[in-house]
């Protein structure tokens, strides 16, 4: 799975959209209530550190079981310290990838698709963490 850097987040042009109080049922339909609880700015929701946040477009299927699919846009925060279990954007020997960071018992990058093997980090490959994935933006695709 590869990533393509899209740009850095900016909060200067906030667009406030209505956020409805009721949740939408994904099971049995429930009656809707017609009032807005507040407004919501997606920048505020998805971006904690604007100066350290960037977006990348995903290519590939190695993270599909983590809910990350080909053509998704990832929100990546460089200000967060990557911890065991985080989904990260990393460069491995100068090639970008998105994987789960595993620090125990050894350092590995884990795919979330059984078709792919974990990548063991050794002295033979250089690993650089570019940031922690905090959100996924996806278009709903029609068949």
**Within a domain: residue 22?**
no
How many domains are contained in the chain? 1
- Here the CATH number for the domain that contains residue 128 is 2.10.109.10
**Within a domain: residue 23?**
no
Residue 121 belongs to what domain range?
2-9+49-137
Question: Does 20 have pLDDT greater than 80?
Answer: no
**Within a domain: residue 34?**
no
Task: Band the pLDDT of 38: cuts 50, 70, 90.
Answer: confident
Please say if 99 is a catalytic residue.
yes
- Taking only the tens place, the pLDDT of each residue in 59-104 is 999 999 999 999 999 999 999 999 999 999 999 888 899 999 999 9
**Within a domain: residue 121?**
yes
pLDDT at residue 65 in the model: 97
Q: Which of 25, 57, 71, 99 is catalytic?
A: 99
- Taking only the tens place, the pLDDT of each residue in 124-141 is 888 999 999 999 999 887
Please say if 25 is a catalytic residue.
no
* Arithmetic mean of pLDDT over the chain: 82
Residues contacting 47, CB < 8 A, separation 6+? 9, 11, 53, 75, 77
């Amino acid at each position: 799975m590869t990533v393509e850097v899209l740009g850095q987040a900016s909060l200067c042009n906030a667009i406030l959209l209505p956020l409805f109080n009721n949740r939408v049922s994904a099971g049995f339909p429930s009656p809707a209530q017609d009032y807005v609880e507040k407004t919501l700015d997606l920048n505020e929701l998805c971006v904690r550190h604007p100066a350290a946040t960037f977006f990348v477009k995903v290519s590939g299927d190695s993270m599909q079981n983590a809910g990350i699919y080909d053509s998704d846009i990832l929100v990546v925060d460089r200000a967060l310290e990557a911890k065991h279990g985080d989904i990260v954007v990393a460069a491995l020997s100068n090639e970008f990838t998105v994987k789960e960071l595993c620090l125990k018992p050894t350092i590995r990058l884990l795919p979330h698709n059984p078709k792919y093997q974990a990548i063991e980090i050794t002295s033979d490959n250089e690993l650089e963490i570019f940031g922690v994935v905090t959100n996924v933006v996806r278009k709903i695709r029609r068949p």
